Amino acid sequence: MSVAAVDAPRNPRVGMLAIVRKRRAIISEVRPFPGETGVVHLVRLEYKDELRPESEEIIWELEPARRLLEPNELPHGSDSPMLAEDYDALVRAARWAAMLPYLDPDADGPLHRMPVSSPFHGAVQVEDYQLVPLLKALAMPRINLMVADDVGLGKTVEAGLILSELLIRRRIQRVLILTPASLRIQWHDELWSKFSLPFDVVDRDSTQKLRRTLGIDANPWRSCSRIISSYYYLRQPDVLQQFLSASRSPEGSAQLPWDLLIVDEVHNLMPSPFGKDSGLCEMLRLIAPCFEHRLFLTATPHNGHTRCFSGLLELLDPVRFTQTDELKPAEQERVKQVVVRRLKREINERSNPKRFCVRQPPQAVVLDIENDERSLIDAFSDFRKKVRGIIAQESRKRRLAGSFAIEILGKRLLSGPVTFAESWRRCKLG
């Protein structure tokens, strides 16, 4: 492979390989425009290593160590033909390193039946049912999907497949994942270990560390392109204002500031059936318009109130749904288009052998209670009734405190005689 000199008159072209800033990249876009010394080129690079940033825009003529890599010449007709095994290996290697590795080089060959590539780029054994949300998402021009599978079916893996596929296809760049605070590190570790996707966890400590490095005005929502954060943290007024200020699109721009929003345990952000919505719901309503694609994850999408469920669907796709007390037949059909819901028993019915253990009905356990234990339980029941009668005339605060103390003693009694005796002794001592 020959290398062009820096001062060669040739210009960069889309699809060429280049080495810029000691990194190998593919030129994905070239925009020439007049400059003071002639035509200059604004070039977009897609780097092929695992470092960050993954893509960058540069002024080609201003890079001091730029190099264009020439492709190899086609073989002459007199040369010996390549062996079939070597040719297949070359095709596979080219597809693996290509910008769009999901494309089938034969157009209608065997790979045409496998239009996805993220399952082959991840370190995870993908179940067949986990491909359903991925295929459903790829069929949408704008992804608005709620994955409401049962607990244990792998919603994190399904979300990772969708995320990885969209990144491979260059459909997204900026991603925000909102989770409960206790799941941030789990999401970070699983996306890295299973899909090799690096993410930045944004919280109060990481923001302070970033500002010590970049300056007091550094905004993590602008500095990072892939973020995992807690929605309880983003709900805080100052943090929410920082996010909104970093998510403003230029005037007249048709491109949204963010590409993909993933919300785990989204039922915590569900609208209220009565009265004012929670702060989490209001936060989601404010930030959702900043995203091109939205992916909601929950195992409990419906809390018994149609108004809450329809309100959550409105946050997911405001074009198809509005918050209402009753879903019409046409709206129920649209629910099937945006919601994926499977239970373990449904997966078992379609699998042989069954993938999940069958849950057995609960069996009653007969307790053999001795006379002394029964007498103690009866005596405590009488004591509880008398205490409740005494505190019934007190203030609401004292009634709540007294009821709480009685319940604690009852739990100690169920734990065992030793714990109850110690709690009873402390109760008598005051």
Half-sphere exposure of 282 (CA within 13 A, CB side): 9
**Prediction pTM value:** 0.68
In a domain, 399, yes or no: yes
Report the relative pairing of strands 38-47 and 23-35 from DSSP bridges.
Answer: antiparallel
Shared domain for 54 and 126, answered yes or no, is no
Higher pLDDT residue, 421 or 227? 227
Q: What's the pLDDT score for residue 108?
A: 52
- Residue 175 reports pLDDT greater than 60: yes
Comparison of pLDDT for 380 and 35, the residue scoring more = 380
Q: Report the alpha-carbon distance of residue 423 to residue 74 in Å, rounded.
A: 87
What is the per-residue pLDDT for 97? 62
Q: Residue 350 has what pLDDT?
A: 82
Contact 43, 19 (CB under 8 A): no
Give yes or no: residues 262 and 307 share one domain.
Answer: yes
Torsion of CA 370, 371, 373, 377, to 10 degrees: 130
Residue 205 CB partners (closer than 8 Å, separation 6+): none
Residues 179 and 217 grouped into a single domain: yes
Domain with 41, as residue range(s), is: 17-69
**Burial letters for 306-334: b for 16+ Cβ neighbours within 10 Å, e otherwise?**
ebbbbbbbbbbbeeebebeeebeeeeeeb
- As for how many domains the chain has, the answer is 4
Q: Is residue 356 a part of any domain in this protein?
A: no
**Same domain for 101 and 183:** no
Q: For residue 268, what pLDDT is reported?
A: 94
Q: What is the mean pLDDT of the chain?
A: 86
- Which one, of 164, 151, 234, 230, lies nearest residue 192 by Cα? 164
- 99 vs 26: CA distance, rounded Å: 8
Answer whether residue 61 is part of any domain: yes
Residues 387 and 322 in one domain: no
The residue type found at 60 is W
Report the alpha-carbon distance of residue 392 to residue 386 in Å, rounded.
Answer: 10
Give the pLDDT mean for 193-210: 93
In a domain, 321, yes or no: yes
- Compare 78 and 89 and report the one with higher pLDDT: 89
> Average of pLDDT values for 358-367?
82
Distances (CA, A) of 304 to 50, 272, 336: 46, 12, 18
| 157 has pLDDT over 90 | yes
pLDDT of 50: 66
Query: Is there a single domain that holds both residue 125 and residue 231?
Result: yes
* pLDDT(207) > 70: yes
Q: Is residue 75 part of a domain?
A: no
Q: What is the pLDDT of residues 104-146, one digit of tens each?
A: 544 455 545 557 888 888 889 999 999 999 999 998 989 999 9
Same domain, 251 and 306: yes
Tokens 């780097």 found at: 47
Determine the distance from the C-alpha atom of residue 358 to the mean position of all C-alpha atoms in its chain, rounded to a whole number: 29
Answer whether residue 163 is part of any domain. yes
| % of the chain at pLDDT higher than 70 | 90
**CA of 101: how far to CAs of 120, 170, 382, in Å?**
10, 11, 74
Residue 54 in any domain: the answer is: yes
Average the pLDDT over 92-100 and give the result: 64
Given this model, what pLDDT does residue 5 score? 40
- The average pLDDT across 5-11 equals 54
Residue 91, in any domain of the structure: yes
Confidence category of residue 90, pLDDT binned at 50, 70, 90: confident
Note whether 375 and 286 are same-domain residues: no
Please name which of 323, 260, 320, 253 lies closest in space to residue 290, comparing C-alpha atoms: 260
Tell me, what's the pLDDT at 162?
95
Type of residue found at 428: K
Spatial separation of the C-alpha atoms in residues 12 and 427, rounded to whole Å:
83
More confident of the two residues 75 and 344: 344
pLDDT for 7 beyond 50: no
* Structural tokens at position 402: 């007294």
Let me know whether 51 and 191 are in one domain.
Answer: no
**Residue 172 and residue 248 in one domain:** yes
* pLDDT at res. 2: 41
CATH number for the domain including 302?
3.40.50.10810
Regarding whether 420 and 333 lie in a shared domain, the answer is: no
Residue range 233-260, pLDDT digits in tens = 999 999 999 999 999 887 777 789 999 9
Q: What is the pLDDT of residue 250?
A: 75
Query: Can you tell me the distance from the alpha carbon of 110 to that of 93, in angstroms, rounded to the nearest whole number?
Result: 17
- Each residue's pLDDT tens digit, 393-422: 888 888 888 888 888 888 888 888 888 888
Three-class secondary structure assignment of 272-329: CCCCCCCHHHHHHHHHHHHEEEEEEECCCCCCCCHHHHHHHHHHHCCCCCCCCCCCCH
pLDDT, position 318: 93
CB-CB contact of 373 with 420 (8 Å): no
3-state secondary structure the chain: CCECCCCCCCCCCCCCEEEECCEEEEEEEEEEEEECCEEEEEEEEEECCCCCCCEEEEEHHHCCCCEEECCCCCCCCCCCCCCHHHHHHHHHHHHHHCCCCCCCCCCCCHHHHCCCCHHHHCCCCCCHHHHHHHHHHHCCCCCEEEECCCCCCCHHHHHHHHHHHHHHCCCCCCEEEEECHHHHHHHHHHHHHHHCCCCEECCHHHHHHHHHHHCCCCCHHHHCCEEEEEHHHHCCHHHHHHHHHHCCCCCCCCCCCEEEEEECCHHHHCCCCCCCCCHHHHHHHHHHHHEEEEEEECCCCCCCCHHHHHHHHHHHCCCCCCCCCCCCHHHHHHHHHHEECCCHHHHHHCCCCCCCCCCCCCCCCCCCCCHHHHHHHHHHHHHHHHHHHHHCCCCHHHHHHHHHHHHHHHHHHHHCHHHHHHHHHHHHHC
Q: What is the pLDDT of residue 259?
A: 94
The mean pLDDT value for 256-275 works out to 93
* 109 in the same domain as 228: no
User: What is the pLDDT averaged over residues 291-309?
Assistant: 93
- pLDDT the model gives residue 366: 83
